[in-house]
Amino acid sequence: MALYQKFLDSIKGIKSSLSKDPTTMDNVSGALAAEFLIFVSLILAALFLRHVSVIASVVVVILAAVLFFTNMPLASKIKSEQSDSLEKMTFYVMVTLGILIAVIYWGLKYV
Amino acid sequence: MNYLIPLMVVVPILAALIVNIFGGKDKTVKAISLVVAIAIPLIAILAAVGVQYFGGHDPTLIASSLPSNLVGALAASYNTGIVYVFENIERIFIFLMGIVAFLAVLTYFAEKKEVSGPYLYLIFMGIASVTALMLSNDIFNMYVFFEITALTQVGIIVASSTEDNYEIAMKYMILGAIGGPMLLLGVGFILGTIGSVNINDIIYALSNNFVNPYSPGLVIGFALILFGWLYSAGLPPFHTIKSAVYSKARPNGSAILQGFSVLCMLAFGIAMYKIFAYIPYFNTAIIGFAILAMVLSIAMSAMEVDFRRMIAFLAVGELGFIALGFGIGTQYSIAAALFQAANEIVITALLFIGFGTVYYLTKTSDTRKLGGLIAADSTMAIMVLLGGFALAGVPPFNGFQSKLMLVQAALDAGYTELAVLAIIVSVVIFFTFVKAFHTVYLQPKPKELKFAHEKIPKATVFSVAVLLIICLVLGIFPNIVTDIFIPFAGGLI
């Protein structure tokens, strides 16, 4: 029941955080679809890690599930992070570049 | 020697220069543009498969005149000039891009009475660049033409005269100032390590152990080229700016821009696959970015209220399917990725031009202000709906065939979770599209909605119909292209 309540609260959260415009069936249904898509897809992506390491996959799936449930609604947070703000876009570009260089350069030393 | 191969690049460059010179003389510009736009796909069909060595640098001729002490050395096998390779796969993609460009130009002429020389210059220059990118077997040459493509993309947005277009163009240039140089730096590392930028030479040097495949220069080169590939394709973290770019161009311009992105993604993706597929977790990295592209872009499109931005996000999300096929890394999955790429060029162009008619009629793309447009032109509405079905993977359209291939390939490779993920994302694409279609076409027309134009030009209807026919033909007879893609993919792995 606590889980159900948590889910209901998250839907209310989506509704309030989407925009100040009048809430319509369209934008609520869109946000809900996005929420489910993000949740299910990222859990599936975590499951994909089983091809690299089964233990890592189990740990990541559990961690991801806990993290997602405690941080719902995800869709509106992801939407706010993917705005057209140059600062945010540059930030993610630099983070990706840093991760790629670090993981590929140092990671391949241990292969 | 097949002179039609370089002509595929030369003709659009010449056209670009000529239409710019004749800018202002509308009839002349229109005539030249249409002739060239028809000529581009025609040349792709007529050209024979072959290799073009620029500057007479045929390696077999050079090898026969080398001093005896160089025979058998690594340098003796290197290509000393730029090489274009034209196979049937290039034929398909250049042909499809040419068709999309022709229909987009036709739509542009029908919707705008006074044509812009610079706008057409940018379109033709972009076509020349992506064609060269597809043909080139040289990663530095590819980089050069990619940069020209990126600049023409910026130019097309600026020349589109839409709201906030300058701002988005500037942001794309700033982010490109990170992505482009990183790509060049990666090419530089490869050149420094191997001594050549020709893809065949790099593969030869690696496969014959002339260089350590895990040397730091090569590894960093791979990381930087992978990053550059993300930028060129518009995969995360560049998906937001790429979708903004699509949504700020004129609909006919967006149709061309998304084609450019697909070809850039393919050209660099194939080159990366040829050179770096031996690197551990290469496929895992590609799959990671593919999943992010699909999930983030499609989730964003589901929440979008601006239909141009929604289609833009859907287009970027579809790129994730292409990357997924490459990431799975089997012959069948790579063939599916290539098929998906061919389909995306056509389907997304259809949706940009088709949905663009709504913008043409009402001058708004906010779905909250739209409704009842099926009454304006029911034929166009049905064609757009069918285009959306093709995008979502509904039979009998081409999107269904390529996505089915992709799901089968994922299952065959043991990636059940990726197959499920691809299906879920397709379902959300279907939902998003139907939601937008209902809002724009089927719900009651708002009282305050005003029409800027009463009718959709016949040329636009014709363009969408041609694209829909291509979708249907490729859906019913997928072997027209898969018979070429499957052997090519077999040679790649």
Q: What is the rounded radius of gyration, in angstroms, for the C-alpha atoms of chain B?
A: 22
Phi, psi values for residue A3, rounded to 5°: -65, -40
CB pairs under 8 A between A and B: 134
Are the C-beta atoms of residues B335 and B493 closer than 8 Å to each other? no
The per-type count for chain A, helices as H runs and strands as E runs, is: 5, 0
Q: Does residue A10 or residue B453 have the better pLDDT?
A: B453
Query: What's the pLDDT at A22?
Result: 54
> What does the mean pLDDT of chain B come to?
91
Q: Where are the domains of chain A?
A: 2-82
Residues 6+ apart with CB under 8 A from B65: none
Contact: B287, A48; criterion CB under 8 Å? yes
Region of residue B308 (left: phi > 0; alpha: psi -120 to 50; beta: else):
alpha
Kindly state the DSSP code that residue A23 receives in the 8-state scheme.
P
Nearest to A41 among B300, B304, B421 (CB): B421
Query: What's the pLDDT at B364?
Result: 86
Distance from CA of B299 to the nearest CA of A (A): 4
Residue matched to tokens 């450019």: B260
B27 to A1, B33, B109, B152, B201: CA distances (angstroms):
71, 10, 10, 24, 48
Q: How far apart are CA B66 and CA B85, in angstroms?
A: 24
Which pLDDT tens digit goes with each residue over B383-405? Answer: 999 999 999 999 999 999 999 99
Nearest to B415 among A27, A41, A48 (CB): A48
Which residues lie across from B36 on neighbouring strands? Answer: none
Q: Which range has the worst mean pLDDT, B158-167, B203-212, B272-281?
A: B158-167
Cβ-based contacts of A20 with chain B (< 8 Å):
none
Residue B55's pLDDT band (cuts 50, 70, 90): confident
Reply yes or no: is the peptide bond before residue B41 cis, omega within 30 of 0: no
Reply yes or no: is the peptide bond before residue A73 cis, omega within 30 of 0: yes
Contact: B294, A41; criterion CB under 8 Å? yes
Query: What's the pLDDT at B449?
Result: 85
Q: How far apart are CA B416 and CA B403, in angstroms?
A: 14
Query: What's the pLDDT at B245?
Result: 92
Chain centroid to Cα B400, Å, comes to 19
**Rounded percentage of chain B residues whose pLDDT exceeds 70:** 99
Cβ-based contacts of A24 with chain B (< 8 Å):
368
pLDDT(B305) > 80:
yes
Which pLDDT tens digit goes with each residue over B86-132? Answer: 999 999 999 999 999 999 999 999 988 888 888 999 999 999 999 99
Q: What is the rounded radius of gyration, in angstroms, for the C-alpha atoms of chain A?
A: 17
- Identify which of B44-58, B82-96, B205-219, B272-286 has the greatest average pLDDT: B82-96
The encoded tokens of residue B362 equal: 């009402």
Environment class of B182 (CB within 10 Å of its CB; exposed 0-12, middle 13-18, buried 19+): buried
pLDDT(B73) > 90:
no
Provide DSSP, B102-129. Answer: HHHHHHHHHH-SS--HHHHHHHHHHHHH
Distance from CA of A20 to the nearest CA of B (A): 13
Chain B residue with CA closest to A83: the answer is B240
pLDDT(B452) > 90:
no
Residue B7's pLDDT band (cuts 50, 70, 90): very high
Q: How far apart are CA B344 and CA B270, in angstroms?
A: 17
Full pLDDT tens readout for chain A, 111 residues: 566 677 667 766 666 665 555 556 667 788 888 888 998 888 898 898 888 888 988 999 999 888 888 888 888 888 888 888 899 999 999 999 999 998 888 877 765
pLDDT(B282) > 90:
no
Cβ-based contacts of A29 with chain B (< 8 Å):
431, 435
Chain A residue with CA closest to B443: the answer is A26
Q: Which residues of A touch B (CB under 8 A)?
A: 18, 21, 24, 26-27, 29-31, 33-34, 37-38, 40-42, 44-45, 47-48, 51-52, 75, 78-79, 82-84, 86, 89-90, 92-97, 100-101, 104-105, 107-108, 111
Coil, strand or helix at B53: strand
Q: Where are the domains of chain B?
A: 280-493
Residues 6+ apart with CB under 8 A from B62: B80
Segment B416-423 mean pLDDT: 94
State ipTM. 0.88
DSSP H helical segments within B58-198, as ranges? 59-64, 88-111, 117-135, 139-158, 165-194
Segment B52-72 mean pLDDT: 74
Segment B51-68 mean pLDDT: 75
Query: What's the pLDDT at A11?
Result: 66
**Rounded percentage of chain B residues whose pLDDT exceeds 90:** 71
Q: Does residue B2 or residue A15 have the better pLDDT?
A: B2
Amino acid at B63: A
Query: What's the pLDDT at A25?
Result: 62
Contact: A26, B304; criterion CB under 8 Å? no
Which pLDDT tens digit goes with each residue over B333-364? Answer: 999 999 999 999 999 999 999 999 999 999 88
